[in-house]
Amino acid sequence: MTKNPDLTDNYVKQILTIVFLTIIAAVLFLPTRFDQATGWITGSVGSGLNFYWLYRKMKASYFVSDKEAVLHSYKGFYLRYLFLIIYSILVVILLKPDIIMFGAGLISVQIVIYLHYFYSLVRDKANRGNGTESDENKS
């Protein structure tokens, strides 16, 4: 991740868009695999909210002193995970989704980040072979 706000904004938008697209795909499975689809959807929503919250805290830390940024990081960390714990308990109690798919959904942002990274590596390697340069490397 970079300190360039435009690149960071674009990166976060790309990651959240891909997660959103997986949610749309899971909606298609609601009629046949309700528990699994509900698990993926609710887990991915929690993961996406957690990632967006982290992004907003990181962006806000650009404009404060180092000491305040550390304090915001600790508070944000504990509040985000408290939210995730409460969210997870409520989802499991109220909706009773497939717990494996719910857990997989909770790490969907991490999965997408890794896939995005590997895709970028392959694309950059292919572009170097063609003598072209990717958009992210032009600057």
pLDDT digits (tens, 9 = 90+) for 43-86: 999 999 999 999 998 888 888 888 888 888 889 899 999 999 99
Distance CA 64, CA 27 (A): 41
Closest CA to 12 of 58, 46, 80: 58
Closest CA to 87 of 46, 55, 40: 46
pLDDT at 41 over 70: yes
pTM beyond 0.85: the answer is no
Position 99 in a domain: yes
Position 108 in a domain: yes
101, exposed or middle or buried, with CB in 10 Å at 0-12, 13-18, 19+? buried
Res 76: pLDDT: 87
Range of the domain at 19: 5-129
Closest CA to 51 of 119, 107, 117: 107
Distance CA 100, CA 36 (A): 8
Are 80 and 88 in contact by the 8 Å Cβ rule? The answer is: no
pLDDT at 134 over 80: no
Q: Provide the number of structural domains found in the chain.
A: 1
pLDDT at 28 over 90: yes
How would residue 132 be classed by pLDDT, with cut points 50, 70 and 90? low
Q: What average pLDDT does the segment 116-139 reach?
A: 77
Position 136 in a domain: no
pLDDT at 129 over 80: no
Position 72 in a domain: yes
Distance CA 55, CA 8 (A): 9
As given in the structure block, the two tokens for residue 30 are 């609601």
Position 138 in a domain: no
Distance CA 91, CA 114 (A): 26
Position 121 in a domain: yes
